[in-house]
Structure 1
Amino acid sequence: MDLAHLGHLELLTPRFDDSLRFFVDVMGMTVSGEAPGAAYLRAFDDYERYSLKLTASDTSGVRHFAFRTRSPQALERRAAALTAAGHGVGWTEGDLGHGRTFLCHDPDGHAIELYHETEWYDPPAPLKPALKNQAQRFPARGVNVRRLDHLNCLAVDIRANRLFFENCLGLRTTEQIILDSGVEAGMWVTCTNKSYDVAYTREAHGVGGRFHHLTYALDSREEILRAADIFLEAGVHIETGPHKHAVQQTFFLYVYEPGGNRVELANAGARLVLAPDWKPIVWTEAERRRGQAWGLQTIASFHTHGTPPLPEGTLP
């Protein structure tokens, strides 16, 4: 348990201005820093300076995602374990808002950063909240996302990535999908008492390093229903939802931001895993074929769309 929580991710977009407007005006996020070709954004109750770095690119996808460790010593331990296992890349001086950082790659090629030193958000006077235990004033703009919740990557080999997260990063697996063939098709892992911080599901085309979605939390199901109306008014395509997942029981809604990346809203009151000896829940192929807990059937694009786009010549 050396990792404290999922800290942030760097999202790539080929439509930077449109994506920035989406996250600020529709999602209700706040710009807390800027750099050439990049903007740093935060949800109103993220305690760190930002949880999303939006970067202009010629493609979509995620350049990296990052965890904060529980202490400087925990950072050193994880760096040593990753290096010994052959997954380490090396140290950097960090980015805006956080210090010395260790970079590694998972077995599928996703870039992951670990850091401890961080900048707590200090809101300017217009954004200071009435309650001192809230990070920022409620924005009252668009969807008003509260905090970064989790992300979902695609991977060619789920088992290899599960073992990487368990053995090299020290996360716990809470739920899995295992097909009749014995192949692992999905994993949900946590470093907190949330039921998951990261999910990996099987990439359908055998292409490594791709991304499925990022998720921001709202306080209730009712806010997700209201978000659907806000997306409708803003002309944002709703891929699927609102529904309820069977896996992890999350109430959800999925959209695409202008750069093509999938974004999920989920209720912050989702399940907690308090048991120290939690045994992973295993879902079978037949159980997953039934689709979501309730709502419409899972849309086909949910299993095929990821970012960046598939290389030319790859079968859809």
Structure 2
Amino acid sequence: MAKTDFIELLRAKFVSHLETRSKFTEPQNLYEPISYILNLGGKRLRPVLTLLTTELFQGDSDQSMDAALAIEMFHNFSLVHDDIMDDAPLRRGKTTVHEKWDLNTGILSGDAMLILAYQLFENYPPELFKKLTSLFSKTSLQVCEGQQYDIDFETRDDVSLEEYLKMIEYKTAVLVAAAMQMGAMIAGASEQDTIAVYEFGRNLGIAFQLQDDYLDAFGDPKTFGKQIGGDIMENKKTYLYLKSMETGNQEQIESLLHLYSIKPKDSSSKIEAVKTIFEESGAVEATKDAIEMFTQAAFGHLEKLKLSDANKKILRQFGEGLMQRTV
């Protein structure tokens, strides 16, 4: 079976499991929003990685289905609360939970999702339960810390590249890493292998987010799925912005500071002006270099895994596919 067919099979298996396990009862106003957000679609990247890692370490992905669902449950819980904080009207092209119901329902349903995620780990034997929940607690807290860093950065003008990388590591990469480590744990992989697969996922997650920064400014509007220049319009201090501030000349820095202090009605001229500075300051090339560096670091950890060459190749192809995306 081809790698893509196998991954699609795991994705279909997971979606079927999610649909079965997301049928809740009363009170309707607590559980309906949970079913709604869980069934909005999305790539299901994290839970598929849990199932895939279990299979690659000679385990049975059926055994990691509840851990995969816990990861997806937590991810969607964080989206519900993020949307409240951002006052976002849409998620995956559909009305956000707090807009469709109300603010209190969004908060309470999100809280319930976090509890439901923990409950799913209760289906594992005591020793494994302890390992999984310990990793889950650490990761969940890091995601919250990453979100707080992101909020703090909005009002700070002295954010460093190191701080930004830590923020995206916590907000995005650690959940990808934990999803893979859980899969390996459930398959009974050695501690050395579970750590190496975590590092593979963490580095790949950072590269993925840096590429998202790049595509937001320079992606193809036909395939990206979001409005190009969204981060620029919102004055977000992405890797591109911070690198421009670090390597740009005085004129470029002053222009960038001015452009990021305004919100014009016609944003197209602002977006183009900022993109020009990103290119001329060397930030675009530096961002591409950083994406490549973290991708190669991920592949370095992949080589340490005690897996067959065929199974290593599946993970490598998965990583390469993720990094060659245009969406």
TM-score w.r.t. length of structure 2: 0.28
Rg bigger for which structure? 2
Higher helix share: 2
Higher strand share: 1
TM-score w.r.t. length of structure 1: 0.29
